Amino acid sequence: LLFVVSDAEGNEISRFTESIKAGLQVAHWDGTYSSRANINKRGEPITSANSANLVAPGTYYVGVYKSENGIIGQLAQKTEFKVKWLGNNTFVTDRPADLIAFQADVENSRRKITALNNYYNALDDKLAKLKANTRNTPGVSVFTLNALHSLQLQMAEIKIDLYGDATLSKREFETPPSLNGYIGAVAWASYSYTGSPTQGQKDKLKNANELYAELQAKVKGIAKQAEEIQKNLELAGAPYLEDSLPE
């Protein structure tokens, strides 16, 4: 069963899945937006996105679909329901729309930063394979290793900006904030929070977005150089990588 939750304007805000069992069943929604930051394949095909921030009180709708042998069909029309929080929290903003807009900005930044993390890791692995191809393929200039080594050194510097300097932190030395540190701190403080965004949260999000733009440009530059090296290696007869499909 695939449950689709929409807001009063008809915008889909959450999806979750449950397995079909015999007898009466009760499905629970936690009242949060579905996170768009990560891919979650665990439990395939019974998968659900991670939770993001809380929805505002108001009117919502839920529709139910059934997947049978991989084919999706509608099981129940949209049904209206209300969300009304208990009101037992201490901090409650008087401008809920501004809070939800800020939390949406946080989630969008997490989405982009997660993509950068994944792209960086794939590129790092690609550079290692290109070095192996350079070492192992007769006819390829051995000096290509120097260019690849230079790119790997640049990647190592970017890694510190992405994740922090582990060699220093494990020895109890202070380290500059990393990109994932910035976004992790603001997301942790923002989700399930009902008060107005603090200036500290806004500053961390601003710092994260600025650092993301800087690192994204650097990674794209390295990727472009790696692509040129890959083409030259393939022309010289090196093995193809996973992202290549020869004619």
Helix runs in the chain, H state only: 96-136, 144-163, 166-169, 179-190, 199-235
What pLDDT, on a 0 to 100 scale, did the predictor assign at position 93?
Answer: 83
Q: Give the C-alpha distances (Å, rounded to integers) separating 84 from 55, 60, 62, 69, 90.
A: 10, 11, 16, 37, 16
pTM summary value? 0.88
8 A C-beta contact, residue 37 and residue 107: yes
Q: How far apart are CA 103 and CA 195, in angstroms?
A: 11
Residue 57: is the preceding peptide bond cis (ω within 30°)? no
Q: How far apart are CA 74 and CA 174, in angstroms?
A: 55
Helix (H, G, I), strand (E, B) or coil at 132: helix
Q: Return the structure tokens found at 82.
A: 């209300």
Tens digit of pLDDT at every position of the chain (247 positions): 999 999 999 999 999 999 888 888 888 999 999 998 888 888 788 888 888 889 989 999 999 999 988 899 999 889 999 999 887 777 888 888 899 999 999 999 999 999 999 999 999 999 999 999 999 999 999 999 999 999 999 999 999 999 987 665 555 556 678 999 999 999 988 887 888 899 999 999 999 999 999 999 999 999 999 999 999 999 999 999 999 999 8
